[in-house]
Amino acid sequence: MGTKPLHKELELTMTKNIIITGASRGIGYEAALALANKKHQVLAVARTRNKLQQLKEQKPGHIEIYPADLTDLDTVNALKKFIELKYSKIDGIINNAGALINKPFTQLELSDWQTMLDSNLMTAIHLIQTLLPQMSEQSHILNISSMGGYQGSAKFPGLSAYSVAKGALSILTECLAVELKDRDIRSNALCLGMVQTEMLEEAFPGANAPVTAEQMGEYVANFAINGSTFYNGKILPVALQDPD
């Protein structure tokens, strides 16, 4: 009777190897720190080397960095080779990388739609496909979506391309839970409300969010480690209110 719960308890505390994208600032930066503070091994990926270096210097024993543009397929393949040399297995991927365009629908160009899809959806798809061979049983794919991509939430002018891309990322999460069931790899999406990040401030100057990047980073880190024990294939809203 007590064997399985004990096994689960040990799983929650063991050191894990976690890949996190978009880790040079905001939620990704704070989530990487939170994971490292819990003694997990983190590979932080983002475009900006100097910001990644600052992150690593805070926890050099637990954070490794890899500057990369994940929209470039050759770069992702090079990242795979780096990971193969660095880690025997991967226990989790946090697909946090993304971009936001605030522009009315009537002014959006096809290139804007492509940018949103590439940054918020295709990077996650390619990274998951590329790293699947190294993912362990019961590993966790955590996709960071948005309340804008959550069905039934309030929608706002200027965010159609961003919301559509994030909505697709959410549905991908449900599909992965089915596709990867036989490999016992779990997949969940967190649809985040407003968080005080640089990306939010760039898109909405003067916006005042009810949650800090540090608070949300801590939540994401905890969910990445423990959430797949309780959820699989779920699209979960994480917001005090609809974004406004």
The dotted CATH code for 17-238 is 3.40.50.720
pLDDT of res. 1: 45
pLDDT of res. 11: 45
d(CA 68, CA 116): 18
Contact 138, 187 (CB under 8 A): no
- Looking at every residue in the chain, the average pLDDT score rounds to 92
pLDDT of res. 13: 53
Which stretches of the chain score pLDDT less than 70?
Answer: 1-13, 241-244
d(CA 69, CA 87): 21
Torsion angle of the four alpha carbons 124, 130, 134, 137, in this order, in degrees rounded to the nearest 10: 50
pLDDT of res. 40: 97
Give the domain ranges of the chain. Answer: 17-238
**What global pTM score does this model have?**
0.91
d(CA 240, CA 223): 17
pLDDT of res. 202: 79
Map tokens 């549905």 to a residue.
171
pLDDT of res. 70: 94
Q: Which of 138, 154, 144 is nearest to 221 (CA)?
A: 144
